[in-house]
Structure 1
Amino acid sequence: MPHAVSRLRAARLTRSVKPFLARGGPKGERCSGCRLVPSHCICALRPDVPTRAGMCLLMADIEPLKPSNTGWLIADVVADTFAFGWARTEVAPALLALLNNPQWQPYVVFPAEFADDTRVVHELTHNDNKRPLFILLDGTWDESRKMFRKSPYLQNFPVLSLHPEQLSRYKLRRAQSEAHLCTAEVGAMCLALAEDTQAAEALNAYFEVFTEHYLKAKQQLPVDLADDVHLRLQAATHAA
């Protein structure tokens, strides 16, 4: 069954006035399951790991259409991933229902300097009756800041500020700063905070495998399924 980001992508495509052409031209065939060219498909490598946490992706308009989007990887790994297109003037009723569902404790994941100090947290509040729901603003840095400022329905939730110990490993787009992590890297940090350790390790490894396949496809080079990144994914997926 297609996951939430895949469904959002399909819905966005139906609204397109003209076809969305990813780099590679109009004849560039891509796998519908992983968005890579068929020769470098990673669908068979998708991790199947348990998670308690949930992910809510608020996605900028064309973000679901981009093959380089890494929110898709989160949806591959985390069963309870929800995805919604963001618009300043409207909000999906299903999103409001999700945020008000008593089984979830939502956290808006965003840097502390953009939030009121009273909202900022650096750790999760452990509650056996509520599962953490991480709200990730998925877009360019400018788009994410706009979503954070102009989404009044998020204003009553704590802002989870992360402190990465390393620079981003994302190589598929140019970021304004190497300190800006991509969506999958942020998702893995959130899973680690939620003590979904295996899922965090699997998502990190899956992200590295995706990056390698994506770049090797662009270079028209084969991948080595027995190299270090693939072995790390196997180890994370089959961890006890």
Structure 2
Amino acid sequence: MDSPAPSKRPHCERCLRPLRSCICRWVAPLAHRVEVLVLQHPLEVANAKGSARLLHLSLPHSQLLVGEVFAEADLRDAGVKHSLLLYPDTPQHAVLGVPPAPKLDPAVLQDPAQLRLVVIDGTWRKSRKMLYLNPWLQQLPRLALSGMPASHYRIRKAHRPDQLSTLEATCYALAQLEGEAVNVRPLLDAFDGFVAQQAAYRPD
């Protein structure tokens, strides 16, 4: 049987989506100092509901890598940045052989320009597997979020109201690290527009 012909629908070269569902109108450039590295699971690349691409396009100091296992050389920063993993504490991962994350030294948080935030973009199950498969990620101190408002990510199923999209979690993390020096509200407002656009494509 012949393989199906590739789609000929025109795509946006910037957001990589079909032109009819282009999300570039929601890109809201954010003036931030903390660098952001997004590690995206391959299954999220073609997911129209995913927020990582919009996040990457809105963050001038960001990089997006796609994969499940990464070479350590691709993850390490060549400069003097201090890398933090945006991930909750997971003591239960000890049964998987994942060591406890090192303690976060408050002193490294004094200069946001010397920080790099590493974000895993995937479902909880996939992100846990990526953490397990990449020992270098296990060596990073973690930044955990708490007391966050309910997510506006109503187009994807969540088990708890405080389970955030990649974009929302990263915005709140940047606000936590940079304080009043960064205004994440315009990007969060743009995210609401993105969510509404995606919801409009779904049947009632």
Give the TM-score band, short-chain normalised: 0.7 to 0.9
1:139 to 94, 116, 122: 122
Partner of 1:148: 131
Q: Does 1:163 align with 2:146?
A: yes
Q: Is the 8 A contact 1:58 1:84 kept in 2?
A: yes
5+ residue gaps, structure 2, are 94-98
TM-score (norm 2): 0.77
- State the secondary structure of the residue aligned to 2:90: helix
1:68 CA displacement: 1.1
CA contact (8 A) 2:85 2:119 kept: yes
Q: What secondary structure is seen at the aligned counterpart in 2 of 1:173? A: coil
Instruction: Write the distance in 2 (CA, Å) between the matches of 1:111 and 1:151.
Output: 16
For 1:61, the aligned partner's letter is P
Amino acid in the other structure paired with 1:171: R
CA shift digits 1:176-220 (9 cap, x unpaired): 333321101111111101226544222211211111122124469
Q: Unaligned 5+ residue runs, structure 1?
A: 1-16, 21-25, 221-240
1:5-84 aligned at under 5 Å gives the runs 31-34=12-15, 38=19, 41-84=22-65
- Assess if the C-alpha contact under 8 Å between 1:47 and 1:206 holds in 2: yes
Structure-1-length-normalised TM-score = 0.67
**Which residue pairs with 1:110 in the alignment?**
87
Q: How many residues align?
A: 195
SS at match of 2:42: coil
- Residue 71 (structure 2) pairs with residue 91 (structure 1): yes
- Cα separation, partners in 2 of 1:215 and 1:206, compared to 1, 3 Å: same
Across the aligned residues of Structure 1 and Structure 2, the Cα RMSD in angstroms comes to: 3.3
Of stretches 53-62 and 168-177 in structure 1, the one that deviates more from structure 2 is: 168-177
Q: Distance in 2 between matches of 1:130 and 1:181?
A: 25
Question: Does residue 195 in structure 1 map to residue 178 in structure 2?
Answer: yes
Whichever residue aligns with residue 110 of structure 1, its letter is: Y
Return the letter of the residue paired with 1:134.
Answer: L
